[in-house]
Structure 1
Amino acid sequence: MRLLFLTLVALIAFAANSVLCRLALGSGIIDASSFTAIRLFSGAVVLALLLSWRASRRECSSERFHPAGSWRAAIYLFVYAAAFSYGYLTLDTGSGALILFGAVQVTMILVTLVDGNKLTAAEWIGVICAFTGFVYLLWPNLELPSLTGFLLMAAAGIAWGLYTLTGRQSEKPLSDTAWNFIRSLPLVMLLAIAALPAAAWSNAGIWLAVASGALASGLGYAIWYQALSQLTATQAAVLQLLVPVLAALGGVLFVDEQISLRLLIASAVVLGGILLVVLSKQQAH
């Protein structure tokens, strides 16, 4: 139940992050570089404060100041955040989500296979089933993507897949996530300086970027790292296909959108595929 709760909270944070990014970038109230910089900076600040607070409660100063995470994970995080922001400038929501999560699936499953961890027949069926439901949900809103948008969102998906795989070895999720954000700040500064002449923002855009970074990204990614230690790479890959479904359900609950037959069918197919992947791995053990 604890794993289920952590995973669900993390996936809800991912869905919220997608909504916040679309609201900020889709309406043009902030530019992509400023959004990325504020997002990662605010995430680093909140996580550093949380890490410091936990260390003070435990009276453990070494936890507060001892670097964790890795430069590799920080680079993955920065590439994902920057490519994601710029990619959505030229992509509609459906196409962007399909490219992003398609790249995540391919990356994580390929790395799993290269590492010698073969998928069972049931897992393959579950993966295909979940991805089919995911595509079915997004299909009416798909548009032919621009080449630039496709490449940027594919890069974001690859980087996020690698960041997720790195997190499976994390023994200190909060420390690792906090230091991954902190280590990304030099790259954030370079991006902000390079894009300064074209920077444009509003108060609303800044607050959306802060919410995306501090809550949906910073805290959400720390919770995701906590869950990853108990998930296989295949399970982690397939579970992320729930994000667009959760975003659509959020629209029904909070934006008065209607429950469509397509949403119900897609949700059932995605959930069925995920259940097949999870149960097949449990039976294997």
Structure 2
Amino acid sequence: MGTEQISPRYRDIDAWAPGEVLDAMIEGQLAAVAAVRAASPQIEAATLAMVERLRKGGRIVYAGAGTSGRIAVQDGAELPPTFDWPRDRLVLLMAGGEPALLRSVENAEDDKVAGAATITDHKIGPNDTVIGIAASGSTPYTIAVIEAARKVGALTVGIANNPGAALASAAEHGIILDTGPEAIAGSTRMKAGTAQKIALNLISSLAMIRLGRVYEGLMVDVVAMNEKLRRRSENMLRRLTGAADDAIRSALSEANGNVKLARVLLAGLDRAAAEALLTKHEGHLRPALAEILGG
């Protein structure tokens, strides 16, 4: 059953007791997790293919319309502060542009010409990965983005919630999150949206782990833009090294807040040598430390 279909089970939901309504909607959220679990092999394959492009300097491109587009933008917007992902290697394509993030833009999701044009406008190429997301899998704007991206050699990933979705077929890597009909028919911000957000969390987080931006379960590439994150950076180094607070703050200062660089400085290297070591290991802290500390 598709995301737009009406489920007989929920026909009288407006007459149910509040607790019953909540139970039904919570059950839907659990179903969203199950749908993502079933698509895990496809998610893994798409992510590993993306990582290979990113290692060549490619960009991550998110594309969508309406609720799906907003979910995609949310995931992408978190990458720079969480993993210090370069903003010039992130492209967020939303049908209707920025105004559509806060309100509906009439007919934007049907604009195939605008979708295809964004690929040219942003000079998308073979090293880039374009992730298109649409609950129905039939959104013209998003399909046009994926088709145009594929023509220029970009890696394409299509995420949809309906089996047989055109978006998944248009992409090199199609991912179906089969969540079925919603408790409120057609309201795909519910379990379909949850499944989409989970899938994007998995894709982006696995990619960042594979690219060396996570070490011992810590966000070692986090950008300390406020006091909370500065404390987090200090706590990470305290956990990783056991060094004194003064030494940690000094290392972070010398490293301009970069936790990975500070960690190598605390191992005894000067800044130039520490930077060279991290460059040699493509930013991966584990093999860098293994080279100088052993183990």
Shorter-chain TM-score above 0.5:
no
Higher strand proportion:
2
Q: With CA pairs under 8 Å and 6+ residues apart, which has the higher RCO, 1 or 2?
A: 1
| TM-score normalised according to structure 2 size | 0.31
Higher helix proportion:
1
Higher Cα Rg, which structure: 2
| TM-score normalised according to structure 1 size | 0.31
